[in-house]
Amino acid sequence: MKPIHAVFALLLCIAGITIFVLLSDPPPSATGVSHPTVNGMSLGGDGTEKLSSIGRAPYYFQIAVILLAGSLLYMGIPAHRRDRLLRTWFAVGLAFAIFVWISLYTGYESYLQTGQTKIVFGFPVPTNWMFWGIWGSFVAFDLFYVFTFRRYFLHPDDEAAFHQLVKDCEAERGDD
Amino acid sequence: MEEFRQPIILGFVALYMGICIWVGLWAMRRTKSAGDFFVAGRGLGPWVVSLAVFSSTLSGFGFVGGPGLVYATGLSSIWMAVCSALGFATGYYLIAKRIRMIAEVRNAMSLPDIVFARYGSEAARLLTAGTILLGVLGYLATQILAMGVVLQSILAGTEMFADISLLASVVISSTVLIFYCVTGGIVASVYTDLVQGIVMIIAGALVVITAASVFDGGFEQASSILLANDGEDVMPFGTLGAMASLSWYFLFGLGLAGQPHVATKMMMNRKLSDNQAILPMTVFGYVIAAMLWVSVGIIMRALVLGDVALPLSGADEAAPAFLSTYAHPVLAGVVFAGLFAAIMSTADGFLNIGAAAIIHDIPKAIRGRSLDNELFWARTATIVLSVVAASIALFSGQLIALLGAFGWGTFAAALVPVVLIGLNWKQASARAAIAAISVSLLINFVIQLWQIHIPYNISGGFLAMLTSMILFIAISMMEKPKPLPKDIDRILEL
C-alpha cells in the first residue's frame, strides 16, 4: 500500500466519524454552559452527558488523526531512502503516540465515572498526558528528524544530486 | 517601583519599537532587489530562520486571545498549542526541503511561484495569490487592531496620553510597522522577528514563574480550585468538549505547514542542511513562549472562580489584568514588549506575502510577467496594504469579522493539500489543486457569512480542510498522471 492510499483511507475514516458526530443529536451542554454570574465564562457541565450521543467517537477520531499524521510524515521521506529501520521507528513512534492518547482518554473517562483524579506536576493526570504526552509524542518525530537528518532527510548523495540539478538548470538557462 | 509601573511599561515598549526602527534602517542597506525584499536573497542563517518561523506562528492571538480563551473555556484551546510539535514536524518533513529547492532552481520569490512551478498552472497561481491576499487582509486587520488596542491601554494609564484615541494608537503603532517593513522588506522583518522571538521566549518563561507564585500552593492549588468549582475546565478538553478540541488539533497541527507566512520563511535559509538545526530551535522557542498562554489563563480563571479576584469585564482582559496586578513592573514591561513583538512579527510576515501577491504573483498570473521596478512597487504595495488593513480594522465593522475568519483555517484548508501533499506526490494535478482551493474558500465563506453553527463546536476550518484534502486526492487519482517538468520531477525524487 502506498502512503497516499493510507492517507486517503484515513481521511475517509475521519470524515466518516465527523459525519456521525454532526448527525448525532447534541445534548444541551455539548459545548459547556454559561457561568451563572461571571460574564464571558463557561463551565463544562456534565462531561458524561456531553458524550452521551457520540460515545467514543472522539477516541477513534484521534487514533485516525495520529495514524494520518504518521502517514503524511512518512510521505515526506524520499521513497528510495525508506528502509526497515525507518519503518520500525515509525511503528514505534506511532505506537507511543497512540499509547499516550489511550492513557489520556481512559484517564478522562475514569474521571468522568468517579469524579476523582490525582494532581501531578500541578495538573490532573489526564491533563499532564495532554500537555507533555500529546506534545511530546511528536517531539519524538522532531528529534528523529534531527538525529537521522543525513540518513533520511538530506542524504549527502541527494544533496549532491540537487547541486548537480542547479548546475544543469543554470547551464540550460545560459547563466554564468 | 510600583508608582513607576506605567512609565516602565511604556519605556520597554518604546525601546522595543526603537529597535524595530533601527533594524529597518540597517536592513534598508541590504535590500537592493525584489529578491532581497521578498526572500532575503535566500541567505539567512539558522538562528534567524528558526526564530522567524516560530515568532510568525505565534501571533498576538497567543499572547492575548489564548489566555482569554483559557479564562473563558478552560483548556479546550490548548490543543492549538500542544499540536505545535506535529505542526513543525509536518513543515520540515514535508515541505521545508522541497520548497527551498524549488525556490533556488526556479528563482521563486513566493508561495504562488512554488505552486506554479509544481503544477504549471497560472490559474492555480492566481487562486493561491488571491487566497493569500484575502487571508492577509483579514489577519492583518485584526493584528493592527490588536496593536492599537494594546497601545491605547498602555498610554491611557499615563497622565499625558490619558485620552488618546484608538485611531491615534493605530496610527502610531502602524507607522513603526510600516516603516521597517517598507525600508527593509523581509530582511527587516526576519531580523525584527529575531528580536521579537527572543523577547517572546523571555516573556513566556518569566510569566510562568510569576504565575506559579500567585497561589502559595502554585499550579496545584489553582487546579484544586478549578476541580472543586467545575472540573471539566482543567481536564484535557476544557468546557467546549472533545470534538471541538480535537478539530482544532487537526486544523492547527496539520495546517501549520500551509500557512504562507510560515512556509515562505522556509525558502530563505542559506543552506538546505540548516534545516537540521532550525526545526528543534523552532519547537523549543514556540513551547517556551506558548507557556504564557496556559499559565495566565489558568491562574486568572482560578482566581475568579476561587473568589480571590473580581470577574473580568471580558475574557481578553485576562493577560492585561494578570500583568497589571501580579507581575513586577519590569516583567510587565518585558511582556508588553513581547506582546507587541508577537503581533508585529506576524503582521510583518503578512505584509510581505501580501505585497508579493499584489505586485508579483497576480500580475504574473494574469499577464505572464511581474511589474517592472518590482522593488519600488513592493514598497508602495506594502504601504497601501497597511493603510487598507488599518482602515478595515477601524471602520469596517462586520467586514473585519468576515475577513478575520479568513485566517488560519482558510490558509490551512486551501493550501495544505496543494503544498503539503502536492510537493510529495507526483500524481497530484493542477485541476485538483484548483478544485481544492476553490471548495475550501467556498466552505469557509459560507460558514462565516451565514454564521452557521456547527454541532459540538467543531471548527469550520477543520471541515473545509478535511473536504479539500479528500477532494484533492480523489480528483488527482481519477486523472491520468501527466509528466512533470524535468527539474520538478527530479526535486520530488530527492
Q: Is residue B466 scored above 90 in pLDDT? A: yes
Mean pLDDT throughout B191-217? 88
Q: Is residue B457 scored above 80 in pLDDT? A: yes
Residue B341 maps to a domain: yes
Q: Is residue B97 scored above 80 in pLDDT? A: yes
Contact B403, B445 (CB under 8 A): no
Residue B494 maps to a domain: no
Q: Is residue B490 scored above 90 in pLDDT? A: yes
Closest alpha carbon to B486 in A163, A169, A154: A169
Choose the weakest-confidence range: B99-113, B150-164, B298-312: B150-164
Q: At what angle do helices B5-28 and B122-155 cross, to 10 degrees?
A: 150
Q: Is residue B105 scored above 80 in pLDDT? A: yes
pLDDT number for residue B430? 96
Contact B413, B443 (CB under 8 A): yes
Among A30, A124, A143, the residue with its CB nearest the CB of B227 is A124
- Residue B27 pLDDT level (bands cut at 50, 70, 90): confident
Test A44 with B314 for CB contact under 8 angstroms: no
Q: Is residue B475 scored above 60 in pLDDT? A: yes
Q: Taking CB atoms and an 8 Å cutoff, what residues of chain B touch A69?
A: 86, 89-90, 253-254
Below-70 pLDDT ranges, chain A: 175-176
Mean pLDDT throughout B247-275? 91
CA gap B340, B13 in Å, rounded: 8
Mean pLDDT throughout B207-219? 93
Among A24, A122, A141, the residue with its CB nearest the CB of B219 is A122
CA gap B380, B187 in Å, rounded: 17
Mean pLDDT throughout B350-354? 87
Percent over 70 (pLDDT), chain B: 97
Test B85 with A141 for CB contact under 8 angstroms: yes
Domain boundaries, position B113: 2-396
Q: Tell me, letter by letter, the H, E, C secondary structure of chain B.
A: CHHHHHHHHHHHHHHHHHHHHHHHHHHHCCCCCHHHHHHHHHCECHHHHHHHHHHHHCCHHHHHHHHHHHHHHHHHHHHHHHCHHHHHHHHHHHHHHHHHHHHHHHCCCCHHHHHHHHHCCHHHHHHHHHHHHHHHHHHHHHHHHHHHHHHHHHHCCCCCCCCCCHHHHHHHHHHHHHHHHHHHHHHHHHHHHHHHHHHHHHHHHHHHHHHHCCCCCHHHHHHHHHHHHCCHHHCCCCCCCHHHHHHHHHHHHHHHHHCHHHHHHHHCECCHHHHHHHHHHHHHHHHHHHHHHHHHHHHHHHHHHCCCCCCCCCHHHHHHHHHHHHCCHHHHHHHHHHHHHHHHHHHHHHHHHHHHHHHHHHHHHHHCCCCCCHHHHHHHHHHHHHHHHHHHHHHCCHHHHHHHCCCHHHHHHHHHHHHHHHHHCCCCCHHHHHHHHHHHHHHHHHHHHCCCCCHHHCCHHHHHHHHHHHHHHHHHHHCCCCCCCHHHHHHHHC
Closest chain B CA to residue A132: B82
**A32, B235, B329, B421 from A65: Cα distances, Å:** 24, 21, 44, 16
Residue to test with chain B: of A10, A29, A31, A81, most B Cβ within 10 A: A31
pLDDT number for residue A142? 96
Closest alpha carbon to B252 in B366, B94, B85: B85
The nearest CA of chain B is from the CA of A168 a distance in Å of 9
Name the domain count of chain B.
1
Q: Is residue B371 scored above 70 in pLDDT? A: yes
Q: Taking CB atoms and an 8 Å cutoff, what residues of chain A touch B304?
A: 38, 41
Contact with chain B for residue A164, Cβ under 8 A: no
- Residue B397 pLDDT level (bands cut at 50, 70, 90): low
Q: Taking CB atoms and an 8 Å cutoff, what residues of chain A touch B218?
A: 122
- Radius of gyration of chain A from its Cα atoms, rounded to whole angstroms: 23
In this structure, the number of other CB atoms found within 10 A of the CB of residue B334 comes to 24
Q: Chain A window 41-80: which residues touch B at a Cβ cutoff of 8 Å?
A: 41-45, 47, 50-51, 54, 57-58, 61-62, 65, 68-69, 72-73, 75-80
Residue to test with chain A: of B79, B93, B230, most A Cβ within 10 A: B93
- Residue B29 pLDDT level (bands cut at 50, 70, 90): confident
The nearest CA of chain A is from the CA of B493 a distance in Å of 6
- Residue B399 pLDDT level (bands cut at 50, 70, 90): low
Q: Is residue B415 scored above 70 in pLDDT? A: yes
CA gap A127, A105 in Å, rounded: 10
Q: Taking CB atoms and an 8 Å cutoff, what residues of chain A touch B236?
A: 104, 108, 126-127, 129-130
The nearest CA of chain B is from the CA of A175 a distance in Å of 12
- Residue B209 pLDDT level (bands cut at 50, 70, 90): very high
- The identity of residue B345, as a single letter, is S
Closest chain A CA to residue B101: A162
Residue B422 maps to a domain: no
Work out whether the CA dihedral B436, B437, B439, B443 comes out positive or negative: positive
Q: Is residue B61 scored above 80 in pLDDT? A: no
Q: Tell me, letter by letter, the H, E, C secondary structure of chain A.
A: CCHHHHHHHHHHHHHHHHHHHHHCCCCCCCCCEECCCCCCCEECCCHHHHCCCCCCHHHHHHHHHHHHHHHHHHHCCCHHHCCHHHHHHHHHHHHHHHHHHHHHHHHHHHHHHHCCCCEECCEEHHHHHHHHHHHHHHHHHHHHHHHCHHHHHCCHHHHHHHHHHHHHHHHHHCCC
Q: Which residues pair with A124 in a beta bridge?
A: A119
- Residue B405 pLDDT level (bands cut at 50, 70, 90): low
Closest alpha carbon to A126 in B238, B222, B97: B238
> Chain-wide mean pLDDT for chain B?
88
pLDDT number for residue A161? 95
Test A149 with B276 for CB contact under 8 angstroms: yes
Contact B419, B258 (CB under 8 A): yes
pLDDT number for residue B39? 73
Among A79, A145, A162, the residue with its CB nearest the CB of B279 is A145
A113, exposed or middle or buried, with CB in 10 Å at 0-12, 13-18, 19+? exposed
| CATH at B55 | 1.20.1730.10
Among B73, B94, B236, the residue with its CB nearest the CB of A126 is B236
pLDDT number for residue B404? 58
pLDDT in tens, B224-254: 999 999 899 999 999 999 999 999 999 999 9
CA gap B287, B273 in Å, rounded: 23
Mean pLDDT throughout B316-325? 84
Test B231 with A136 for CB contact under 8 angstroms: no
